[in-house]
Amino acid sequence: MSAIETTLAPAGPPQPDVVRVHVPPRSLRSELRAMKIVWRRDLIRFRNDRIRIATTLVQPLLFLFVLGSGLQQISSAGTHGVDLKTFIYPGVICLAVMFTAMFSAASIVWDREFGFMREMLVAPVSRSSIVIGKCLGGATVASIQGVILLALAGAVHVPYSPPLLLGMFALMLLLAFAITAFGVMVAARITQMQSFMGVMQMIVMPMFFLAGALYPVTHLPGWLTVLNRIDPLTYAVDPMRRLVFKHLDVSAAAHEALAPGVTWFGWTVPAVLEAAVVLLLGLAMLGVAIWEFGATE
């Protein structure tokens, strides 16, 4: 007691003009503000973390330029003169978006481990606002990462056409949102970073390989066709590839061989429906994530 007292300086005079604030009752406006700040936090953190921006680009660039260039010689016979890099470009963009979205979702696990989650959970806002803000934040950040790859379109012989770039961006946003929602849903259950990363790796890599990011989805062995059609990522890669090929000047044979579109029992699925599949899955996982976070005390 005495040791403490001697070090206590006299308390300052009471602040004469305290700025008093008050917390308004919950309203749509306050929910939107909460959503927005959770979203903005992801952006601020992304901007501050340049190393992450660089490291998450390494893998996609390796796939695109090293694997793409290396396999070009043996694949040129089958690509009808189309550069392999051009062919795998949409798949590689999906990979980059997936990784970034996954890292964004992983911050939920960090937030819980390091306590910040509590700051958000005790705030007088609904948990769905926080989860939605988080998913939108992850989607935005991952799309920005995708834009960096989009800027490289010229290097893989893809034209910088505004409708193409806009369409690609919209599809990236959709995929990024769905993957973040998926990550947040998983993060609600897993409390340790290492397990989370393990689970995500275990799911993301097979999803990537099965999605046809590196090969056309027709004339596959039966088992692979089934797995490919089940893989949700297929429905993000395929519309992107169809969009790219629509803007390429290639032969009909090349188009038919490389970007034929996903078929369900012989019926070619429209690109819009494919995008809708991704959106619906994303929304469903968002719903599960909200439910999971709402259920925690």
Partner 1 sequence: MAERQSAIEVSSLEKSFDEVEAVRGVSFEVAAGEVFGFLGPNGAGKTTTINMLCTLVKPTGGSARVAGHDVVRERDEVRRNIGLVFQDPTLDGYLSAQQNIELHAELYGIESSLVPERMRQVLEMVGLWDRKDTPVRTFSGGMRRRLEIARGFMHSPRVLFLDEPTIGLDPQTRSSIWRYIRQLKEAEEITIFMTTHYMDEAEFCDRIAIMDRGEIVALDTPEALKARVGADRVKIQTEDDEAAIAALAGRFGIEANVAEGAVAFLVAGGEEFVPRLFAELGVPIKSVSVSRPTLDDVFMSYTGSTIRDAEDSYAKHANKIMMQMMSGGRR
**Under rule CB under 8 A, residue 28 binds partner 1:** no
Instruction: Give CA separation, 122 vs 17, 119, 130, 263, in Å.
Output: 29, 6, 11, 48
Q: Considering only 122-130, 164-172, 184-192, 213-221, which stretch makes contact with partner 1 by CB under 8 A?
A: 122-130
Q: How many CB atoms lie within 10 A of CB 92?
A: 26
In the bound state with partner 1, the residue whose beta carbon lies nearer, of 35 and 175, is: 35
Per-residue contact flags (x/-) with partner 1 for residues 39 to 68, judged by CB under 8 A: --x--xx--xx-------------------
Here the tokens at position 171 are 């599809």
Q: Which residue matches tokens 């793409």?
A: 68
CA gap 243, 124 in Å, rounded? 44
- Closest separation in Å from C-beta 37 to partner 1: 4
Alpha-carbon torsion angle 98, 104, 108, 114, nearest 10 = 130
Task: State the number of binding residues for partner 1 (CB under 8 A).
Answer: 47
Question: How many residues are given for the chain?
Answer: 297
Q: How many CB atoms lie within 10 A of CB 294?
A: 12
In the bound state with partner 1, the residue whose beta carbon lies nearer, of 88 and 106, is: 106
Q: Considering only 14-22, 97-105, 229-237, 284-292, which stretch makes contact with partner 1 by CB under 8 A?
A: 14-22
CA gap 96, 114 in Å, rounded? 27
- Closest separation in Å from C-beta 287 to partner 1: 22
Residue ranges in contact with partner 1 by CB under 8 A:
1, 3-4, 7-9, 11-12, 14-15, 18-27, 29-30, 33-34, 36-37, 41, 44-45, 48-49, 110-111, 113-125, 297
